[in-house]
A and B are shown apart, each in its own frame.
Chain A
Amino acid sequence: MSLVLDHVSKVYGRGAIAVRAVQDMSFAMEAGEIVALLGSSGCGKTSTLRMVAGFESVTEGAITLAGRRIDTLEPASRGVAMAFEGYALYPPLTVAENIGFGLARRNGRDEVDRKVREIAELLEIGDILERRPSRLSGGQQQRASLARALAREADLYLLDEPMGQLEPQLRAILRGRVKALIKERHLTAVLVTHDQTEANAMADRIAVMEGGVLQQFGSPDALRDHPENLFVATFIGEPPMNVLTAERCGDGVALGGAAAVAFPGLALPPGRRVMLGIRPHRLRLGEGALAGTIVSNQWLGDQAHVVIAFADQLLVAVSHHKVAVRVEEKIAFGFAPEDAHFFDAATGAALRHGGEG
């Protein structure tokens, strides 16, 4: 075990104005693992990171790193390195001096130079090493900040939106390189991001947060195939999962009172109201027992997004071929029983995924 958060909470303010930014957060990650904290802004992911770094006090709970309890230690003695969302470079120092800053005391000059140059080449900032932060673009400053964190030797690397300012192409390249570097050196890293593509590309496991509460902690595959609740199901995936209200009846469910779909072996009592979720690329167009009206049909260059009005709701279907239907036309559609996810209508908790019991 490397980093362990044990029932950690963060409360800002006191009494009536108290805000619970993080509530009862627990997870454990292995050494050499990359974990992403994923969520929209204000979900508590940065607060969590700053508690691990020591910039925010922990209201309740304990944080352990490499077997040491660290939540009461000074930031200086926690053994963590961090890349800041706001870069936080030292203004009077050059990029090279910034990156080498934490190295100077333990290593020789040549060793520091070599390490700085190596990490700078990796992040494509080798040509701006002699410049000061004030003369750099946001993306360059961000990479310098990331380089400064990765150049250090630490038990844990905290990366707060480390690539948010980069051009899309560069971001894709650097994601791969940074992940390879972290894996090659067997580093342990926590990545904070609101971008699920970045989380999927870099992380071994993802902690999805919302409203200060950890919604699910699992691998990208687990989040996609076995979301534990409706929030995770609709948050992960682009476009988001379609959700329909349904009621248990006969040998399946009734959708919006209009049509029924058979689900042999569904272990739910008759009359139980549930939410039925289907991912857009699992909806099959032109075949199946259901029928709706086309609202829009967009070809995005490599896939088609078709919006269908069905039982007073809008469903999105993704097809990798052009779909020859026009707006206002009727279309038949359906889905395989193993692609359906069932959630409790009241709590949103997952009841059943696909063909499982």
Chain B
Amino acid sequence: MALHKLLRAAALTLVLLFFLFPIFWIVVMSFQTNEEILRLPPSLVFAPTLANYTALISGHLQTASGILDITFLHNLWNSILLSTCSVLLALVLGVPAAYAFARFRFRLGEDIAFTMLSFRFAPPLLVLLPLSLYFQDLGLNDTYIGLIWIYQLICLPLILWIVRGYFEDASPDIEYAYRIDGHSWWRAFTRIAIPLAGPGIAAAGLLSFIFAWNNFVFALILASADKQPVTVGALAFVTASGIQYGQIAAAIVLSILPTLALALYAQRWLVEGLSLGAVKG
């Protein structure tokens, strides 16, 4: 029994090391200068510096070939704006749609739902060329609205299909019981159906936020410098005088933080969701 526990702990440590070591190494890198990062053999002994972070926050990057302006903080703001607005829009559109697909049978219902899912099948690069032409005609090129719209390709199908499953799992009789108690259809939807599917909505929102945050090609093609998110903005660290590993590491740490914070916040809902799930039967 003790041996069994010991092996378990060892295996867990191994798995954690495997997955967390790259992140740990990036955090360490973000406090080192480029020279310290590139020395051989690598060492954990170094004088920590905040130069990478100050460079990112001040927007001025000191390189061997002079001072370089970087717009990392603006990129970070773009990422937050684009991802948040995309997820909010996808929730507003997707949650009622998911409810409709779960509760009502209507003509072409399944076909529409599947078409939405098929948006995820299309290779983005294949869609992007014609799309950028249309966007130029519509004047949506290089606008937040255009990007948020196109991000629906990422967010909407996820939210629709995950939340639909949660609505289907909840018995419609609970809503009926509420409605027969003297409440309107809309109140039953907002007060009963949505809270019961809350964990699913939180999980779908979080997932689609992460997917939107990590998206690269849509913004690369459809947005210019001042609308670009961090994923595209990170290209700026590949400079004429070399790759700025320290700044890249610091930028990664900073751009992980919002998603991490959101995930930690949403965790409460996710755990609550697991215990709510036990209600059935």
* A residues in contact (CB < 8 Å) with B: 53-55, 74-78, 80-82, 84, 86-92, 101-102, 105, 132-134, 148, 152
B180/A90 in contact, CB under 8 A: no
**Which residue of B173, B183, B195 contacts A88 across the interface (Cβ within 8 Å)?**
B173
Which residues of chain A have C-beta atoms less than 8 A from B276's C-beta? 91-92
Which residues of chain A have C-beta atoms less than 8 A from B184's C-beta? 74, 76
**Which residue of B179, B195, B279 contacts A75 across the interface (Cβ within 8 Å)?**
B179
B181/A152 in contact, CB under 8 A: yes
Cβ of A155 to closest chain B Cβ, rounded Å: 12
Query: With A133-B279, A134-B279 known to touch, is A53 a contact of B176 (CB < 8 Å)?
Result: yes
| Docked CA distance A81–B173 (Å) | 13
Cβ of B191 to closest chain A Cβ, rounded Å: 10
B279/A55 in contact, CB under 8 A: no
Asked whether B171 is an interface residue with its Cβ less than 8 Å from the other chain, the reply is yes
Residue from B174, B177, B192 having most chain A Cβ neighbours under 10 A: B177
B279/A81 in contact, CB under 8 A: no
Cβ of A119 to closest chain B Cβ, rounded Å: 15
Which residues of chain B have C-beta atoms less than 8 A from A55's C-beta? 176
Query: With A91-B279, A92-B195 known to touch, is A76 a contact of B179 (CB < 8 Å)?
Result: yes
| Docked CA distance A101–B171 (Å) | 18
| Docked CA distance A332–B171 (Å) | 57
Query: With A84-B173, A89-B174 known to touch, is A78 a contact of B180 (CB < 8 Å)?
Result: yes
Could you list some 6 contacts between A and B, CB below 8 A? A54-B179, A74-B179, A77-B182, A81-B180, A91-B196, A102-B181
| Docked CA distance A91–B177 (Å) | 12
Which residues of chain A have C-beta atoms less than 8 A from B196's C-beta? 91
**Which residue of A80, A87, A91 contacts B180 across the interface (Cβ within 8 Å)?**
A80
Known contacts A82-B176, A90-B177, A90-B192; 16 additional CB pairs below 8 A are: A74-B179, A74-B184, A74-B185, A75-B176, A75-B180, A76-B179, A76-B180, A76-B181, A76-B182, A87-B173, A88-B174, A88-B177, A102-B181, A102-B182, A133-B279, A134-B278
Query: With A133-B279, A134-B278, A134-B279 known to touch, is A88 a contact of B176 (CB < 8 Å)?
Result: yes
Within 8 A of A (CB), among B163-189: 171, 173-174, 176-185
Interface of B, helix, strand, loop or mixed by DSSP: helix
| Docked CA distance A105–B181 (Å) | 11
Query: With A91-B279, A133-B279, A134-B278 known to touch, is A84 a contact of B182 (CB < 8 Å)?
Result: no
Which residues of chain A have C-beta atoms less than 8 A from B181's C-beta? 76, 101-102, 152
Which residues of chain B have C-beta atoms less than 8 A from A132's C-beta? 279
Residue from A76, A80, A86, A87 having most chain B Cβ neighbours under 10 A: A76
- Residues of B in contact with A, size category: 20 to 34
A86/B179 in contact, CB under 8 A: no
| Docked CA distance A101–B183 (Å) | 12
Tally of A-B Cβ pairs under 8 angstroms: 58
Which residues of chain B have C-beta atoms less than 8 A from A91's C-beta? 174, 196, 276, 279
Cβ of B53 to closest chain A Cβ, rounded Å: 44
Within 8 A of A (CB), among B123-182: 171, 173-174, 176-182
Which residues of chain A have C-beta atoms less than 8 A from B173's C-beta? 84, 86-88
| Docked CA distance A105–B192 (Å) | 18
Cβ of B180 to closest chain A Cβ, rounded Å: 5
9 closest A-B pairs by beta carbon, nearest first, are: A88-B173, A91-B279, A102-B181, A134-B279, A88-B177, A75-B179, A88-B174, A84-B173, A75-B180
Cβ of B279 to closest chain A Cβ, rounded Å: 4
A84/B279 in contact, CB under 8 A: no
A88/B185 in contact, CB under 8 A: no
Which residues of chain A have C-beta atoms less than 8 A from B278's C-beta? 134
| Docked CA distance A102–B182 (Å) | 8
| Docked CA distance A81–B57 (Å) | 63
Contact bitstring B74-86, A, C-beta under 8 A = 1, else 0: 0000000000000
Which residues of chain B have C-beta atoms less than 8 A from A88's C-beta? 171, 173-174, 176-177
B176/A84 in contact, CB under 8 A: yes
Which residues of chain B have C-beta atoms less than 8 A from A78's C-beta? 180
Contact bitstring B44-74, A, C-beta under 8 A = 1, else 0: 0000000000000000000000000000000
Which residues of chain B have C-beta atoms less than 8 A from A90's C-beta? 174, 177-178, 192
Cβ of A48 to closest chain B Cβ, rounded Å: 15
Which residues of chain B have C-beta atoms less than 8 A from A81's C-beta? 180
Cβ of B212 to closest chain A Cβ, rounded Å: 31
Within 8 A of A (CB), among B195-212: 195-196
A82/B179 in contact, CB under 8 A: no
| Docked CA distance A16–B86 (Å) | 44
| Docked CA distance A89–B176 (Å) | 11
Query: With A91-B196, A102-B182 known to touch, is A82 a contact of B279 (CB < 8 Å)?
Result: no
| Docked CA distance A82–B185 (Å) | 17
Which residues of chain B have C-beta atoms less than 8 A from A77's C-beta? 182
Cβ of B115 to closest chain A Cβ, rounded Å: 23
Which residues of chain A have C-beta atoms less than 8 A from B195's C-beta? 92
Residue of B nearest to A80 (CB): B180
Which residues of chain B have C-beta atoms less than 8 A from A134's C-beta? 275, 278-279
Contact bitstring B90-103, A, C-beta under 8 A = 1, else 0: 00000000000000
| Docked CA distance A192–B6 (Å) | 59
| Docked CA distance A77–B179 (Å) | 9
| Docked CA distance A133–B279 (Å) | 7
| Docked CA distance A133–B182 (Å) | 22
